Structure 1
Amino acid sequence: MLTGGGFSATGSMLQIFHGEVAGATFTVSSASGPFTCGMLADGSIETYNSVTAIAINSGGFKAARTFLGGFAPSADICSGGCGVQVIGGVTLSTTDLNGVLNLKITSITVAIGAIFQLGTPGASTGFKFKFPIKLSILGGMSFVGSGGYIMLPPGSEFDIADGGEFSSSISVSIEIFDPLTGFAIGPLQALGTLISGGTFTLTISASGSVTIGGT
């Protein structure tokens, strides 16, 4: 349900069926958007208080088959902001974005056992997130480019949970940039080639200052 949309049958129950076998249920409690309810092949139900695209098959960011219901993020659907959830066992590639995510995606969550591949193999231009975003890595995130930076605007956050991992074949850094001018703000924030074995948090304030924490 998109921002501004509504559902007039609040209290209705949704239930998954496998043939004639009843599965998980969910009672609709929200009467207005944004809201997403995804019924997965394993019989589970995922709900989000946002417009959320759920990656259920390994593939590209623009490919409809990558996402539950063929719901790939797009400019019109994400005009009010949306999230992306990558479920376990799935690899979500950004190769088809050509180095820039210019959709208003406010969060990407990578579940345990999932991988988020950032960049384009062989490309030396890095990868830019045009809008502020929260990256929550419970599984794995890999930078697959051959050069450049991971570019984030102010208001962004990069979190790696305990058990999560960031990896890259080259030493890579985060560059904070001014979305109005495109110019870099402050020094580069080095990530190196591997972050694992604990937690890591990099938070960028609205002014571009950086706070780093973790264990």
Structure 2
Amino acid sequence: MTPFIGELVGTALLIVLGDGVVANVILSKTKGNNGGLISITIGWSMAVFVGVYASAAASGAHLNPAVTIALAYAGKFNWQDVPAYLLAQMLGAMLGAAIMWLAYKQHFDETADADTKLGVFCTSPAKRDLLHNFLTELIGTFVFMLAILFITKSSNSLGALDALPVALLVLAIGLSLGGPTGYAINPARDLGPRIMHALLPIKQKRDSDWGYSWVPVLGPIAGAVLAAIVYQVVN
């Protein structure tokens, strides 16, 4: 696989499995209905494991625009390759969301609440305060990125052997810092599926909450770059 295809495939797997576990837990009449937060956080961490492991050899398994930008800032990734990685991540996230929707289409049809349907695709805050929501995403991604920089200290990429610690890191962040906003910590993870929510013929859907959409994009990017700055200071 080329790096572009690696990022696309890895991100698509991430979203199929990550959004898939959310669909299983919150949509009506699924086998996993009402599985709770623990199911979602474990499912997302395993989604990260699969996505990272599948794409590590081809692309370094960034799967996240915030990670790509922060690694470039830290001198661990070539800036000229950033646009292609961001495009691959977005396309992969959109593809993954579409596949997830196909798998759960009957349950989307069975679910009456439009907010629940949107919640399968993208994040939303438990308490809506955009500045504080932004800060929460910044903090979560700061912790995530700083840890990744230490995990990959001796390497320029996320190798296959780093898949498990990264997955456990996502699990820890979900359980600890995921309560306020649902811990997007990844612009593509939120924006790609949000776009697909707007485009797909979902029965009785609501708007895609574009007024909130900048928070899980800019918050993670700011947090990741801040982590890269701190990493450079302490090393």
User: Which structure has the highest strand share of the two?
Assistant: 1
Query: Shorter-chain-normalised TM-score: which range?
Result: under 0.3
Q: Flag the structure with more relative contact order, 1 or 2, with Cα contacts below 8 A and sequence separation at least 6.
A: 2
| Structure with the bigger percentage of helix | 2
Q: Kindly name which structure, 1 or 2, has the bigger radius of gyration based on alpha carbons.
A: 1
TM-score normalised by the chain length of structure 2: 0.23
Q: Give the alignment's TM-score, normalised by structure 1.
A: 0.24
